[in-house]
């Protein structure tokens, strides 16, 4: 379901230019037209309107893949009319999904025998994957509490305040209390010590993030695991861990193979990853894998019988496309370990070019880490005259889409700009972006400060109230935050 708003209530019809060769009248926007229109006209009208969307390749706000090889595009187009759920009719597609699950489970070091099949499923993205993983934890916890004769109506989940919005969705839709570890200035991921302190008997799991959406940083899953093992021993509980590796799941195995964040840690029971982020597939594919069969309660699985064999399914959707699954399999076999490693190393190097360029301006503090998802998150050092939202706005003029956003509790006073470095963001583009940011900085220097403008207006209209620098900064941040909220800008980072 898409909840959408149209731009203007009065603008009730869609006009066309070239299409007027075919259509004499404007098309209604809110009601279905009385008559059909020629296919050329429909194409022209829609194509023209879409030209005003941003260019996906210049959309540096998103982790989601915007380029694939033409051969893979061909496979995508050839399977665009295949409904994934028709497993009887498309057994090979089902087989490819199962192979992807196995490959990914091995990549995450699931404890599997050579020929043993892994437990996992392809989803629409990490959000659906997280709903499924969360449901499995909730059901397992409920079953345990029931068996112990204890109340099972107040489940909670412990995360950092930096979690992606899908965790808030999970909590609200499936009635689980979200207990968030607050952030602090200079530390923008979940503190494992504080997380473990918040765990109680009703905690269904602690969710750690491998690649925080806000600054790409990996959370310390190993420390979380070790602390939780201790706590479980003391209390007799068995609180498990889920790792949200939406962006980091296809980074860490290639760039940091020694880093222990996955099924090598005993309390990690499930992991999700977005195939459409660094899995290198277009939007519409995610994965969730469980450590073993025992970690996915049987009553959540629906059994579909196809070709005489049992195909267990656990998804929220029924029908969906097959293309993304096929494309994922293409990428996994086409690139192999070597190919993924080369691409991730490249992304990391381009992120470094960008980071060095930004540092050279002397105007920014870098808030992303060298170890993590290849992205650069940065803040202005000096906010006395201009802020990050102005930079974001001015970069739009060059075609760049670079989001600015404020950090969550308790670091709301920090604003950052974030550039995600994807495979198709080349070194040349990185250098160009630095040059354009320099131009923006230069132009901002010549512009009157919105900060002083605002004060001047206040002095003219109200009694003069002397404000401290901090008050002024707070007010300005609040005004921008309101503007951003009004524009629903939060959805721009994903």
Ligand X SMILES: *Cc1c(COP(=O)(O)O)cnc(C)c1O
- Least separation in angstroms between CB 457 and ligand X: 40
Site string for ligand X, 56-85 (x = CB under 6 A): -------x----------------------
Name the residue nearer to ligand X (CB basis): 47 or 491: 491
- Count other Cβ atoms within 10 Å, centred on residue 450: 17
Q: In what order do the strands lie in the sheet with 364-366?
A: 364-366, 375-380, 415-420, 404-406
Among 16, 59, 164, 387, binds ligand X (CB under 6 A): 164
For ligand X, the binding residue among 159, 247, 350, 368 (CB under 6 A) is 247
Query: Which residues inside 300-339 make contact with ligand X, applying CB under 6 A?
Result: none
Closest to 45 (Cα-Cα) out of 13, 86, 7: 13
Q: Which of 45, 246, 354, 434 binds ligand X (CB under 6 A)?
A: 246
Using CB under 6 A, pick the residue from 217, 244, 262, 390 that binds ligand X: 244
Residue 45 or 273: the one with the smaller Cβ distance to ligand X is 273
Contact of 315 with 127, CB cutoff 8 Å = no
Between 427-446 and 388-395, two packed helices, what is the crossing angle to 10 degrees?
A: 120
CB nearer to ligand X: give 433 or 494. Answer: 494
Pick 242 or 363: Cβ nearer ligand X: 242
Task: Tell me the C-alpha distance between 445 and 439, whole Å.
Answer: 10
The 3 state secondary structure assigned to 247-283 is: CCCCCHHHHCCCCCCCCCCCCEEEEEEECCCCCCCCC
Measured from the CB of residue 200, what is the shortest distance to ligand X in angstroms?
24
* Only segment of 241-249, 299-307, 397-405, 473-481 that touches ligand X (CB under 6 A): 241-249
**Considering beta carbons, is residue 219 or 390 the nearer one to ligand X?**
219
Q: Which region, judged by CB under 6 A, interacts with ligand X, from 232-240, 243-251, 374-382, 442-450?
A: 243-251
Residues in the chain: 494
Question: What's the CA gap between 110 and 104, in Å, rounded?
Answer: 9
CA distance 367 to 407: 11
Torsions phi, psi for 269 (to 5 deg): -105, -25
Q: Give residue 175's region: left, alpha or beta (phi > 0; psi -120 to 50).
A: left
Specify the residue, 126 or 323, whose C-beta has the smaller distance to ligand X.
126
- Cα separation, 101 vs 104, in Å, equals 5
In the bound state with ligand X, the residue whose beta carbon lies nearer, of 274 and 328, is 274
Segment 186-215, which members bind ligand X (CB under 6 A)?
Answer: 209, 211, 213
Query: For ligand X, what does the binding mask look like between residues 115 and 134, x meaning CB under 6 A?
Result: ----------xxx-------
Which residue blocks in 7-90 are alpha helix, DSSP H? Answer: 39-50, 70-78
Question: Smallest gap, in angstroms, from Cβ of residue 155 to ligand X?
Answer: 20
Least distance (Å) between residue 379 CB and ligand X: 20
Least distance from C-beta 373 to ligand X, angstroms?
A: 8
Three-class SS state of 357 = helix
Q: Report in angstroms how near the CB of residue 7 gets to ligand X at its nearest.
A: 25
The span from the CA of 66 to the CA of 52, in Å, is 17
Residues 328 and 97: their CA atoms lie apart, in Å, by 9
| In the complex, least distance from residue 279 CB atom to ligand X, rounded to whole angstroms | 10
Of residues 315 and 477, the one with the C-beta less far from ligand X: 315
Subset of 271-300 contacting ligand X (CB under 6 A): 274, 286
Size of site (CB under 6 A) for ligand X: 15
CA distance to 323, 384, 452, 474, per residue, from 459 (Å): 60, 18, 10, 18
Write down the least CB distance from residue 183 to ligand X, Å: 15
Residue pair 23/365 in contact (Cβ under 8 Å)? The answer is no
Of the two residues 104 and 166, which places its CB atom closer to ligand X in the complex?
A: 166
If the CB atoms of residues 209 and 280 are measured against ligand X, the closer one turns out to be 209
Q: How far is CA 44 from CA 19, 26, 40, 48, in A?
A: 6, 14, 6, 6
Residue nearest to ligand X (CB): 125
Site residues, ligand X (CB under 6 A): 63, 125-127, 164, 166, 209, 211, 213, 244, 246-247, 274, 286, 494
């Amino acid at each position: 379901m898409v909840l959408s708003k149209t731009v203007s209530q009065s603008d009730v019809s869609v006009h066309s230019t070239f299409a007027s060769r075919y259509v004499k009248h404007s098309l209604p926007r809110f009601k279905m037209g009385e008559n059909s229109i020629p296919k050329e006209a429909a194409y022209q009208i829609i194509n023209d309107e879409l030209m005003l969307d941003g260019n996906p390749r210049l959309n540096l706000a998103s982790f989601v893949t915007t380029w694939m090889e033409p051969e893979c595009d061909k496979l995508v187009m050839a399977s665009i009319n295949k409904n994934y759920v028709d497993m009887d009719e498309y057994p090979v597609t089902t087989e490819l999904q199962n192979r992807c699950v196995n490959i990914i489970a091995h990549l995450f070091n699931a404890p599997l025998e050579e020929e043993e099949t892994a437990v996992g499923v392809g989803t629409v993205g990490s959000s659906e994957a997280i709903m499924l993983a969360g449901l499995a934890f909730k059901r397992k916890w409920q079953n345990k509490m029931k068996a112990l004769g204890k109340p099972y109506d107040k489940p909670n989940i412990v995360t950092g305040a930096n979690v992606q919005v899908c965790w808030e969705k999970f909590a609200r839709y499936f009635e689980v209390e979200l207990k968030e570890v607050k952030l602090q200035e200079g530390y923008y991921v979940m503190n494992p010590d504080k997380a473990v302190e918040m765990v109680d008997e009703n905690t269904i799991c602690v969710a750690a993030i491998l690649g925080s959406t806000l600054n790409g940083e990996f959370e310390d899953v190993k420390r979380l695991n070790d602390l939780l093992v201790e706590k479980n021993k003391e209390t007799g509980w068995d609180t498990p861990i889920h790792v949200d590796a939406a962006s980091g799941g296809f980074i860490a195995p290639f760039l940091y193979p020694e880093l222990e964040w996955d099924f090598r840690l005993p309390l990690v029971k499930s992991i999700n990853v977005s195939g459409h982020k660094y899995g290198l597939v277009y939007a519409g594919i995610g994965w969730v894998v469980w450590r073993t069969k025992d970690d996915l309660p049987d009553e959540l699985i629906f059994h579909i019988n196809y070709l005489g064999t049992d195909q267990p399914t656990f998804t929220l959707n029924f029908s969906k496309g097959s293309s993304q699954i096929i494309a994922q399999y293409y990428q996994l076999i086409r690139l192999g370990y070597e190919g993924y490693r080369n691409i991730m190393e490249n992304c990391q190097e381009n992120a470094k070019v960008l980071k060095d360029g930004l540092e050279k301006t002397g105007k920014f503090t870098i808030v992303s880490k060298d170890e993590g998802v290849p992205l650069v998150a940065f803040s202005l050092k000096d906010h006395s005259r201009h802020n990050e939202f102005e930079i974001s706005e001015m970069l739009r003029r060059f075609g760049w889409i670079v989001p600015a956003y404020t950090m969550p509790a308790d670091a709301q006073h920090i604003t950052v700009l974030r550039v995600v470095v994807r495979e198709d963001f080349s070194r040349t583009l990185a250098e160009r972006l630095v040059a354009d940011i320099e131009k923006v900085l230069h132009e901002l220097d010549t512009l009157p400060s919105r900060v002083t403008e605002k004060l001047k207006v206040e002095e003219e209209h109200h009694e003069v109230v002397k404000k401290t620098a901090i008050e002024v900064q707070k007010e300005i941040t609040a005004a921008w935050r309101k503007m951003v909220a009004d524009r629903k800008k939060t959805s721009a980072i994903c």
